[in-house]
């Protein structure tokens, strides 16, 4: 379950980053890059990750970028 959550989270953040590229400040993209990097590092050691680890990294992103919440909702709705 954690590996599915992790992969889905990485894919979602990459999609969000692609959508935001060129439309936001570089610092926003850097923060997304850092979150993606952190999650990819967790993925390499997937035997030791927990859902809490993944949600912690995602929470850091969402805390700093309220617009990300809206984009995730839009992406989720468009995939249905």
Which pTM was predicted? 0.70
User: Structural domain tally of the chain?
Assistant: 1
Full domain range(s) for residue 59: 2-78
Question: For the segment 2-34, what is each residue's pLDDT rounded down to a tens digit?
Answer: 778 888 889 988 998 898 888 777 888 888 999
Query: What's the token pair of residue 15?
Result: 């999609």
Cβ atoms of residues 13 and 35 within 8 Å: yes
pLDDT tens track for 44-78 = 876 777 778 888 888 887 777 776 667 667 766 77
């Amino acid at each position: 379950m954690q590996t599915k959550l992790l992969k889905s989270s990485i894919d979602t953040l990459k999609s969000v980053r692609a959508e935001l590229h060129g439309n936001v400040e570089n610092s926003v993209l850097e923060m997304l890059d850092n979150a993606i990097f952190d999650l990819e590092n967790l993925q390499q050691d997937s035997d030791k990750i927990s859902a809490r680890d993944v949600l912690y990294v995602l929470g850091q992103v969402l805390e700093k970028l309220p617009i990300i919440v809206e984009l995730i909702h839009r992406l989720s709705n468009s995939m249905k």
